[in-house]
Structure 1
Amino acid sequence: MAEPVLVIAGLEMQRGTGDSKFRMVVDRLEFESNQPVLLTGENGSGKSSLLDVIGLVLRPTRTAQFAYHGRDGEAVDLASLLAEANDTALTDIRCSEIGYMPQTGGLVPFLSVEDNIALPAMLCGRRDPAFIDQLCNALEITPILLALKPQALSIGQRQRVCLARAFAHRPRLLLADEPTASLDTVSAAVVSEMLVEVAPKYGITPVIATHDPRLTEKAGTRRITLQAKPVGPSEVECRIAAAA
């Protein structure tokens, strides 16, 4: 069995009050190192919220176990760091060990494409120009594009730049929220291959929220389906309906 990269158990995250309450419950969930994971489910089933919990952006209301395992096998008790509100340690882990590709936007508007891609790697001291060149070549980010600002890019170009930025510091986890939703067939195929086939070769475990059949039909991926159901007149509960 492959070593784990993240183990979650007994987690609950609740948001909202009054007429709109949302609760996510995760009894147990393990992510294996270098195993691409697809989060599927209807809109509102909690896919993006689960990504934000994994990415240490949303804080769970409670959790029995939330452990991150580094490449050296050492476990970091995220549950304790969250309970202690140790923002410094959590920020360090988020910056150095997690890459994030949002559904839209996320690029710094006043930086060039080249500087946007290099930013996470620079912040955590892992800037590798040769590796970034490889990424740009694979994603067809040309020297002309590298010199532009994000507002000059098409939607497809922005998504490819976001993916290169998420890769650039070689994170342990790469979280992608609907990465192919706005892309044409050719661009979607490039992004899909990078996430599912290339990322694991660099020791990166991709976790992808998606509706895209081009991704869900790919071999070698693990699929986790989330489901939302009403549990009261003003409350929705999201749980894992199936994991395979």
Structure 2
Amino acid sequence: MTITAPHTSTDIAVHATNLSKIYGAGTTRVEALRGVEVSFARGKFTAIMGPSGSGKSTLMHCLAGLDDASGGSIYIGGTDISKLNDDALTKMRREKVGFVFQSFNLVPTLTAEANILLPLALAGKKHDAAWLETIVATLGLKDRLTHKPHELSGGQQQRVAVARALLTRPEVVFGDEPTGNLDSRTGAEVLSLLRSSTREMGQTIIMVTHDAIAASYADTVLLMKDGELVGQLEDPTVESVTQALSGLGV
């Protein structure tokens, strides 16, 4: 199944064509992705869902350049990342991709502000002070910048991770179960922040989740099964997502 948003190419942040991923060989051969064709509209929040083993995490890792695809092409901001060498791929991820993981991935010895600035510091680049101030204000972190991770709640730590992901104005932010370690109330706050980043900052977000409530914050939900895209929901609700997952045997 081909999933293509009704937008022009200039409105597409990420695009994959004929994407495949194969693990093992012979009797252990597994097709994790089977000729996936998908486009993600710029400035939209998309959730990817499916049963365990459906290929949703593999798809995200390939799209983000964290894992090599076995075949096909992936474009981020017009760049075919499948043709990049390791150094160029590392630079691309640093400049064009943001990540928000379940485990926060903050450096415990650094302050919140230093954690936010870390990607640019590693790249030897200066940050845009006005943009940093905007992000910090939007995420409610102004009074927490001098705190280290152990001095922050789980929700505050994830806000720092979101701020870090947004700082470089990336083409896309990938979220891997970003609320998996948070309680429901804090998770809702983080999801609201992700959604507002698309609507107020024009950020493109692609999130993998198993949670129907989390998916309901997205503009679009893509459904996967057996390494293929098998459905799409627009303006999802908890009820519509739950029903769709039920149809996939989840």
TM class by smaller structure: 0.7 to 0.9
CA drift of 1:62 comes to 1.5
Are residues 1:116 and 2:124 paired? Answer: no
Residue segments in structure 1 that go unaligned for 5+ positions in a row:
70-74, 229-237
Aligned residues: 223
Residue 19 to residue 27, structure 1, CA distance change in 2 (3 Å): closer
Q: CA RMSD in A?
A: 2.4
CA drift of 1:22 comes to 5.5
Residue 214 of structure 1 corresponds to which residue in structure 2? 213
More helix by share: 2
CA contact (8 A) 1:180 1:212 kept: no
**1:33-112 to 2 correspondence within 5 Å?**
33-63=42-72, 65-69=73-77, 75-81=78-84, 86-112=85-111
In structure 1, the residue corresponding to 2:230 is in which secondary structure? strand
Residue segments in structure 2 that go unaligned for 5+ positions in a row:
1-6, 234-250
Residue 187 of structure 1 corresponds to which residue in structure 2? 186
CA contact (8 A) 1:99 1:166 kept: yes
Higher deviation after alignment, 165-174 or 178-187? 178-187
Q: Which amino acid in 1 is paired with 2:82?
A: A
CA drift of 1:115 comes to 0.3
Q: Which amino acid in 1 is paired with 2:196?
A: E
Residue 171 to residue 126, structure 1, CA distance change in 2 (3 Å): farther
Residue 24 of structure 1 corresponds to which residue in structure 2? 33
In structure 1, the residue corresponding to 2:207 is in which secondary structure? strand
CA distance in 2, matches of 1:117, 1:79: 28
CA contact (8 A) 1:116 1:165 kept: yes
Residue 134 to residue 186, structure 1, CA distance change in 2 (3 Å): farther
In structure 2, the residue corresponding to 1:193 is in which secondary structure? helix
**Identity across matched positions, percent:** 28
Which residue of the other structure, out of 8, 15, 19, is the alignment partner of 1:11? 19
Residue 200 to residue 16, structure 1, CA distance change in 2 (3 Å): farther
CA contact (8 A) 1:8 1:67 kept: yes
Q: Alpha-carbon deviations, 1:55-92, whole Å to 9, x = none?
A: 111001111x32222xxxxx2222322xxxx1122111
Q: Which amino acid in 2 is paired with 1:6?
A: V
